[in-house]
């Protein structure tokens, strides 16, 4: 998403000085809007929010059909969205859309911008149905009203592709990305951040389709562009480097993945400090790669540092603590300390249940781990009850043929065999095989 900017003459802006009370509302609005855009562009989002709030108050004094009212709502919505406050951004985006439809018409390019911004916020909230309808409408307007190689058209193609990728509709997403890439390459050239962005989306799409070589190629192309533009040690390269590391880890190249994640951790620390959430997330990613290489002690140390940072910054019951707790539990269990593992998993499940409710599928992994620990201490009936609960949640929420059921079904098969119920165990194994076969992507050509 982008900020809408008030296009005032620099000569006029240069004259806008002194307290707001001495200015006309329109002049003060222009100064604040420009200041907010500048702050947002530099990542100073709280400062941008403050400027945009005052600008919006001033815009309310302008005529109802003045375009600055919609721009103000849009910009404040952007500042809130960029800070992760999606629920607060939504009514502002709706206000901007309503204002633009009334004053400019339903098919104006500025209306398309509001449609796209609102759609992205809805996607972030998980409302994919409304988001898709809005993105398609924005794309339709831009195809009709803008030149065939306009960057805003490429943005709509890109955004709709992201949404369809979220929904697993990969075949629909790919041509959108490729058209966006063609437009951006033609307009901006081969070495541009927008080109790198779309290459990154193509990499994510290929990764989701288990086309690891193709995903690696796209991510390497994107990373090369970012390194040429920003420099190899610029934090702007961290996301793409991390995504490439994920592909390499999935491909079994743990050492290469660990090297990239070491680099990402260094970039995050340089940009945000050693104690922030960005560094915590990077430590967790590096720990995953180290565990694949058998470097358990360093991985445990990184995860414990991450957990401490999250507890300090997010509180002891934040749901993002749960995955870290469960990986640490796995390390403790492998070391033979089952009591410590049990305490960690129990805490993780309690956090998730408090945050998401008792029937959220995110509980399934923890319930599986609790079942495994129960089985290891001989509490087979308890283990069966835990696995039945996990399976019930996954079936009710995700569907009876969701690939997410495979792990639970296999664990249940092993438990049923241990309970002396071989026919039920084989039925569970067969169901897992059927689901897995149906979900397998086609072999790459």
Please write the tens of the pLDDT for every residue from 290-327.
999 999 999 999 999 999 999 999 999 999 999 999 99
- What single-letter DSSP state applies at residue 191? S
Report pLDDT digits (tens) over 260-295.
999 999 999 999 999 999 999 999 999 999 999 999
Report pLDDT digits (tens) over 56-78.
999 988 888 889 999 999 999 99
Mean pLDDT value across the chain: 90
% of the chain with per-residue pLDDT over 70: 93
Cα–Cα distance, 437 to 425 (Å, whole number): 19
CATH 1.25.40.10 fits 332-440, yes or no: yes
- The encoded tokens of residue 389 equal 């609960």
Is the model's pLDDT at 6 over the cut of 50? no
In this predicted structure, what is the pLDDT of residue 18? 36
Higher pLDDT, 84 or 99: 99
Banded pLDDT at 41 (limits 50, 70, 90) = confident
In this predicted structure, what is the pLDDT of residue 25? 64
Report pLDDT digits (tens) over 357-366.
999 999 999 9
In this predicted structure, what is the pLDDT of residue 115? 96
Convert 314-353 to b/e letters by CB count within 10 Å (16 or more is b). Answer: eeeeebbbbbbbbbbbbbbbeeeeeeebbebbbbbbebbb
Judge whether 1-125 and 332-440 match in fold. yes
Banded pLDDT at 445 (limits 50, 70, 90) = very low
Report pLDDT digits (tens) over 228-247.
999 999 999 999 999 999 99
Domain boundaries, the chain: 1-125, 332-440
* Model pTM score: 0.80
Considering only CA atoms, which of 348, 359, 299, 345 is closest in space to residue 321? 348
In the CATH scheme, what is the code of domain 1-125? Answer: 1.25.40.10
Cα–Cα distance, 34 to 12 (Å, whole number): 12
In this predicted structure, what is the pLDDT of residue 168? 87
């Amino acid at each position: 998403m982008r900020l809408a900017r008030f296009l005032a003459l620099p000569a006029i802006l240069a004259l806008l000085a002194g307290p707001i009370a001495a200015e006309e509302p329109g002049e003060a609005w222009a100064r604040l809007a420009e200041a907010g855009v500048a702050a947002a562009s530099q990542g100073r989002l709280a400062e941008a929010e403050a400027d945009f709030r005052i600008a919006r108050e001033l815009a309310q004094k302008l005529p109802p059909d003045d375009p600055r009212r919609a721009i103000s709502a849009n910009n404040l919505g952007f500042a809130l969205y960029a800070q992760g406050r999606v629920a607060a951004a939504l009514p502002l985006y709706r206000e901007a859309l309503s204002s633009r439809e009334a004053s400019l018409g339903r098919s104006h390019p500025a209306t398309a911008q509001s449609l796209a911004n609102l759609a992205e916020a809805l996607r972030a909230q998980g409302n994919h149905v409304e988001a898709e309808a809005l993105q398609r409408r924005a794309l339709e307007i831009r195809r009709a009203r803008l030149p065939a190689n306009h960057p805003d058209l490429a943005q709509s193609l890109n955004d709709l592709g992201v949404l369809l990728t979220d929904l697993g509709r990969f075949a629909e997403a790919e041509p959108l990305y490729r058209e966006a890439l063609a437009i951006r390459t033609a307009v901006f050239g081969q070495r541009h951040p927008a080109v790198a962005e779309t290459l990154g989306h193509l990499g994510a799409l290929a990764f989701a389709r288990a086309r690891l070589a193709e995903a690696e190629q796209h991510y390497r192309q994107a990373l090369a562009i970012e390194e040429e533009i920003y420099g190899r040690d610029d934090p702007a390269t961290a996301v793409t480097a991390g995504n490439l590391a994920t592909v390499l880890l999935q491909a079994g190249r743990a050492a290469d993945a660990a090297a990239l994640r070491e680099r990402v951790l260094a970039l995050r620390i340089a940009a945000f400090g050693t104690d922030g959430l960005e560094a915590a997330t990077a430590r967790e990613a590096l720990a995953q790669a180290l565990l694949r290489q058998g470097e358990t002690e360093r991985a445990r140390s990184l995860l414990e540092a991450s957990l401490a940072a999250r507890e300090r910054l997010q509180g002891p019951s934040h749901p993002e603590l749960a995955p870290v707790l469960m990986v640490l539990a796995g390390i403790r269990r492998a070391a033979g300390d089952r009591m410590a593992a049990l305490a960690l998993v129990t805490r993780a499940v309690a956090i998730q249940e408090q945050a998401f409710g008792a029937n959220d599928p995110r509980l399934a992994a923890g319930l599986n781990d609790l079942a495994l620990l129960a089985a290891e201490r001989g509490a087979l009936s308890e283990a069966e009850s835990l696995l039945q609960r996990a399976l019930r949640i996954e079936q009710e929420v995700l569907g009876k043929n969701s690939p997410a059921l495979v792990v639970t079904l296999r664990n249940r098969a092993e438990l049923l065999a241990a309970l002396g119920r071989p026919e039920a165990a084989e039925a569970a194994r067969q169901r897992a095989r059927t689901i897995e076969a149906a979900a397998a992507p086609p072999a790459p050509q």
